[in-house]
Chain A
């Protein structure tokens, strides 16, 4: 899952500069529109539905890992 998420972030944020410390604060490309695209991509890839609360908490790579793990994604 970790590598998949890195790839999704690279694709959505359109930058190669993505690593495990990536977050909305450190990555200028990560704006609200890309957040929306990210949600759509995560929902499609892992076949899950993210709740609005989870979406608003999801501000970094580690947030994504935490939320997806909590939803049972492996």
Chain B
């Protein structure tokens, strides 16, 4: 990556090679041949408070000047500021605190106005250190370093993690143990009223942990249970214990039995249609953790705290390490609901013998929309996260998508609902001319023929626009084998296959079968040109 950093202190050593830097507090030069920009200003050392305040105000003006001038299609990351050293001579002088908050609020507001701007709150990093650790005055005076070089490694780790959050690389699902994990004690021995949840410590610590997890699930993280217990005992607790926060309805799936946890987790992954590398396993028992670690190296297995009072810190580190995302979308919030509706669907499916009848009974509605400012974040997120039903696995940010649109690419997304619920936006297709650049669908909506209805609807509309043939490509990855023959099934002809397994396709729209089954209620929402 080749970022240009606007700064007012010496910070070069904190960033990898390839980054370039402005002069100190110099915005006169804005290069255009870079991948993106970073704004990292720090509060200067000044004892004249009114002078300091006006200097910080001038930073706001400079930043807004730069934001107006840079390419809106390139990512721009801005760090907040915080007071690392200041001497305020009077206790009732809040001018500095107030200008700091003006500056930071300006960043958060600007984020709404400039879609390419992402704000990273550096107070999150500073908070971990004492004032005396943050500035090393020797290096301040010899090199104007506003941050101690001793913090080099922790800063790099922290910053990389923040960039990952922006890129949406995160886990999707937590597998939770019950005894001594979600509550204190052992259900089989202590009984449904004897387990420790709520009330005084340690029950209170477990209660907080449950509340924390419940709120995390509202942000799209899927909760599941894997516990060695009698299933009926756990159902009784969920139903009857008045202090429990996380109950049956909060878990998208569970395995409560005496089988080994590796088998159970594999089953959970299949049931939810999520890759094992999207799981975090939380269990107080080190033997179980070791088993899971060894069976599935791709599952994250954090060490569980020895004492219940350490749970709040444990929870925070789990969120920071695996689940923090830069911004969440509405689809994320509804995800647990959707995964559960899917489980209901699987049951409904079993009672039908004729699959078409079943599909007909679902009242499937497919809405295809052109990309717009509201769905682009979700489209970018899907290109980052979708692994299995993804024909080319090209990862894009919202900036990339905007760039594609500007270059004449066509981008459509699909929303699917049925009588069990609304899955929201769950797939997209990107055309570069008459060539399919990307085609992907969330696993949540597979198994209902929607993928074929989607592509046929799109191809129909291409045909109406006078396009004769469409090209496509399949690029194999470790995870997308299931779509290896997808295009063949849709009537495309494979014209070449490379040694790496990349397949190139073409379809002639004039004689292709583009009929979409009538039970898909398909609605196209875009301007026909």
Contacts and interface: CB of A to CB of B under 8 A. Distances in A.
Interface of A: 32-33, 36-37, 39-40, 49, 51-52, 55-56
Contacts of B143: 32, 36
B138 interface: yes
Contact of B13 (A37, A51, A55): A37
Interface in B121-162: 138-139, 141-143, 145, 149, 152
A14 to B, nearest CB: 9
Contacts of A36: 10, 13, 139, 142-143, 145, 149
Given A36-B139, A40-B149, A56-B142, 19 more contacts: A32-B143, A33-B10, A33-B12, A33-B13, A36-B10, A36-B13, A36-B142, A36-B143, A36-B145, A36-B149, A39-B142, A40-B13, A40-B152, A49-B138, A51-B138, A52-B138, A52-B141, A52-B142, A55-B142
A40 to B, nearest CB: 5
Query: Which of A36, A52, A55 has the most chain B CB atoms closer than 10 A to its own CB?
Result: A36
Interface residues of B, number: 11
A50 B45 CA distance: 23
A56 B142 CA distance: 8
Nearest to B145: A36
A56 B143 CA distance: 11
Which 5 pairs from chain A and chain B are nearest by CB?
A52-B142, A36-B143, A40-B149, A33-B12, A55-B142
B168 to A, nearest CB: 33
Contacts of A32: 143
Contacts of A49: 138
Contacts of B152: 40
12 contacts: A36-B10, A36-B139, A36-B142, A36-B145, A37-B13, A39-B142, A40-B13, A40-B152, A49-B138, A51-B138, A52-B141, A56-B142
Nearest to A55: B142
Interface string B1-30: 000000000101100000000000000000
A40 B138 CA distance: 12
Nearest to B152: A40
A21 to B, nearest CB: 25
Nearest to B142: A52
Contacts of B13: 33, 36-37, 40
B478 to A, nearest CB: 36
A42 to B, nearest CB: 12
B522 to A, nearest CB: 59
Contacts of B12: 33
Nearest to A36: B143
A52 B13 CA distance: 19
B224 to A, nearest CB: 45
A53 B124 CA distance: 35
Contacts of A52: 138, 141-142
Contacts of B149: 36, 40
A13 to B, nearest CB: 14
A71 to B, nearest CB: 15
Contacts of A37: 13
A52 B142 CA distance: 6
Contacts of A51: 138
A51 B139 CA distance: 10
Contacts of A40: 13, 149, 152
A39 B141 CA distance: 14
A55 B138 CA distance: 11
B182 to A, nearest CB: 44
Nearest to B150: A40
A33 B142 CA distance: 11
A14 B240 CA distance: 68
Nearest to B12: A33
A52 B141 CA distance: 8
A55 B136 CA distance: 15
A49 B13 CA distance: 19
